[in-house]
Amino acid sequence: MNTLTQKSPLFNAIVIIMLAIFLFDVMGAIIKHLGARYPAQQLSMLRNVFGLIPSVLVLFYSSGWREAGRPVRLVQWKLAIARGGFVAIAQFCFYLSLIHMEFATASTIAFSGALFVTLLSILILGHRVGIWRWSAVGVGFVGIVLVMRPDADSFNVYALLPVCAALGYAASSVTAQLFDKSVPTALINLYALAGALTGAVMLVVFTGGYVEVATYQDWLWLLAMGVAGGSAVFCLVTAYRLTAPSNLAPFEYFSIPFAFLLGWMFFDEAPFHRLIPGVFFIIGGGLLIVWRERKAKTGDPLYD
């Protein structure tokens, strides 16, 4: 059977990262909902605590982990913990921005991460990124600007937080490719989560940022937040291990329609008039990278 999935791991990576993006937006909406009652560092800590649930389950049922002899020790543990540190910083910055900014605005600014992924792919992984991939990222970013139509009020001190978050998440995504391919993705995810949880606990301890959870409904929201976030991270790591990070960067822009939909449903935003024409640039950036990938197989350097 000659399917597209069998022909290219890029297709698999795209499908997985789309699922990750949707789950991240769901998590962000829950954080926005809870942010009026609980500080960002506490939400980060509890997100990682409950995020252990999908991480441990995925590890337990991972065929790769069983075939490797069910290891719990990771040779590259320092790299895994460093990735956790990147995530902890990114989480705190992004969650704080969600509390102080509009959901769609914070989410959109955070998508400068696609540019950081491309840059870090060159600096850390030594990947060659040609004109078409740069163009795809640029087209997607233009779409974001058109969708948001930012004014002076958008660029306050809090607007820097999602940019810092984007850099942290991009560093975590790109460094996932530094692990040996024989290491189960589930184990990598578990170590990164442990590092992020440690960092979040330290933030709570040193800032005193903890408020007693008021109701069981809030506990359910916190549980959903952690499960969605933990599942999203696993999908993200899996996608970035299937192909070069710069190949996936434009597809992260698809978070914008997801974020707008959730904002409309839960925060009484009415953003659909903003989608045109920017949404076409966002989708166009993603399609451009697929087209370039197919053309590059011909060996023509013009399509790199």
Arithmetic mean of pLDDT, 141-148: 71
pLDDT at 6: 53
Extract the runs of DSSP E, i.e. beta strands, from 118-159: none
- Maximum pairwise Cα distance, the chain: 61
Asked if residue 135 has pLDDT above 70, the reply is yes
What are the residue ranges spanned by the domains of the chain?
Answer: 4-303
- By the 8 A CB rule, do 236 and 229 touch? no
Helix then strand then coil, % of the chain, to nearest 5: 80, 0, 20
DSSP one-letter string for 26-53: HHHHHHHHHTTTS-HHHHHHHHHHHHHH
Name which residue leads in pLDDT, 133 or 151.
133
**Per-residue CA distances from 40 to 47, 195, 200 (Å):** 10, 17, 10
- Alpha carbon distance 253, 267 (integer Å): 21
| Site of tokens 């290891």 | 71
In angstroms, the CA 82 to CA 192 distance is 8
pLDDT band at 5 (very low <50, low <70, confident <90, very high): very low
Q: How confident is the model over 59-117, as pLDDT tens digits?
A: 777 776 677 677 677 777 788 888 888 888 898 999 998 888 878 878 877 777 767 77
The Cα 36–Cα 73 span in angstroms is: 39
Residue 286: pLDDT above 80? no
Q: Which of 271, 297, 286 is nearest to 17 (CA)?
A: 286
The full DSSP string for 225-281 is HHHHHHHHHHHHHHHHHHS-HHHHGGGGGGHHHHHHHHHHHHS----HHHHTTHHHH
Q: What is the pLDDT of residue 293?
A: 60
pTM of this structure: 0.76
- Please state, in angstroms and rounded to a whole number, the distance separating the CA atoms of residues 134 and 205: 42
